[in-house]
Amino acid sequence: MYRSLNWIKDMKRFEKASTSRAVWQLVNTFIPYTALWALMVLMIRGGVPYVFTLIVSIPASLFLVRLFIFFHDTCHGSFFGSSRANRIAGRMLGILFFTSFDEFRYTHGIHHATVGDLDRRGMGDIWTMTAGEYRAAGLKTRIAYRLYRQPFVMFVLGPVYTFLILNLIPKRGHGWARFKGIILNDAGIVLLAGSLCLTIGWQTYLMIQLPVILIAGMTGIWLFYVQHQFEPSYWARHLEWDAVTAAMQGSSYYRLPKLLQWTTGNIGLHHIHHLRPRIPNYNLQACFLQIPEVQQVKPLTFLRSLRSLRMNLWDEKKRTLISFRQFHRQLSAG
């Protein structure tokens, strides 16, 4: 628990949005993204071996990840100072990665309100079971959880299911606004995809769109995973849960090389983002440099983040994430 919250109040000054910076970010990201698309079209039409198109799709996917961070900011109402501008930009950007602005804004808002709360899991987060729940679960649930936690399923099949299936299907009982948001997003996707197919051909469209969105999806799911699945971390029952502690200890400071920090829109400063989600991505680094308290969080390096793949269950007694192997060792030890 943190005794003084004055420094968190001081962070509010970084919440001021800048229209000029937001527009410049869109320009310096969307133009290279479309240029890489055009290059891949020319490569395919020119008969260049497809492997080179796949190579170019990698930087294109990173620009798409960066555009997703802008979309993410619009959902928090932080990218532009105007709520209307955020809604318009968010709905237009959502078409690029098959994600409804209204749906993501709702589920992601719940994620922010419940991160690290063991009694409020299940929406907008990574499925995480406690060791006790896994011990008491039936065989089908254990198998499903083990499959879900397999890297191939989570980071390869996961993007296919999330972006090409789940995000496109309206859900019953989720309210008209969210239902309509998905329908309108689907219509935008059909309009954009149809226009591109008529212009460059459906084969060329799929040969570019699929690898770009899937590589971007893999990157995005990995970033979301390591932002909350790392060691040491924080989970607590609702009565003991504290929002500031959940942000500072349950949200990682993922330190990336400068180029990757730029392409991921500073989202590695995730502890700051959870403390003050209204801070736009372009102000996160300045906040980090000027608020000493947020610099005290131990950074999660890329090599250390790879260990997160083995962290599968939350041990409530030890207050730590453990692997399936550690879980079975504990069972054997009695």
Instruction: Annotate 16-76 with DSSP letters as a single string.
Output: ---HHHHHHHHHHHHHHHHHHHHHHHHHHHTT--HHHHHHHHHHHHHHHHHHHHHHHHHHT
Q: Is residue 298 part of a domain?
A: yes
> Percentage of residues in the chain with pLDDT exceeding 90?
91
Scored b (16 or more CB within 10 A) or e, 35-71 reads ebbebbbebbeeeeeeeebeebbeebbbbbbbbbbbb
Cβ 126 vs Cβ 228: under 8 Å: yes
Q: Is residue 4 part of a domain?
A: no
pLDDT at 11 over 70: yes
Q: How far is CA 118 from the centre of its chain?
A: 20
| Rounded distance between C-alpha atoms, residue 34 and residue 228, angstroms | 32
124 pLDDT band, cuts 50/70/90, is confident
| Rounded distance between C-alpha atoms, residue 72 and residue 266, angstroms | 12
Q: Is residue 10 part of a domain?
A: no
| Rounded distance between C-alpha atoms, residue 80 and residue 83, angstroms | 7
Q: Is residue 241 part of a domain?
A: yes
Q: Is residue 294 part of a domain?
A: yes
Convert the pLDDT of each residue in 38-65 to its tens digit: 999 999 999 999 999 999 999 999 999 9
| Rounded distance between C-alpha atoms, residue 68 and residue 281, angstroms | 11
Whole-structure pTM value: 0.94
Joined together, the tokens standing for residue 311 give 């962290």
Taking CA atoms, 223 is separated from 125, 174, 227, 316, in Å, by 12, 27, 6, 25
Amino acid 138: pLDDT: 97
Sign of torsion over alpha carbons 261, 267, 270, 275: positive
Could you give the strand order of the β-sheet that contains 313-315, starting from the edge strand earlier in sequence? 129-130, 313-315, 320-322
Q: Is residue 67 part of a domain?
A: yes
Q: Is residue 8 part of a domain?
A: no
| Rounded distance between C-alpha atoms, residue 220 and residue 185, angstroms | 20
Average pLDDT score over residue span 180-190: 97
Q: How many domains does the chain have?
A: 1
4 pLDDT band, cuts 50/70/90, is low
pLDDT at 2 over 70: no
Amino acid 222: pLDDT: 97
Domain that holds residue 304: 16-333
Q: Is residue 157 part of a domain?
A: yes
**Number of H helices and number of E strands within the chain?**
17, 3
333 pLDDT band, cuts 50/70/90, is confident
pLDDT at 175 over 90: no
331 pLDDT band, cuts 50/70/90, is confident
Which residue, 104, 103, 97, 102, is CA-closest to 189?
97
The gap between the terminal CA atoms of the chain, to the nearest Å, is 33
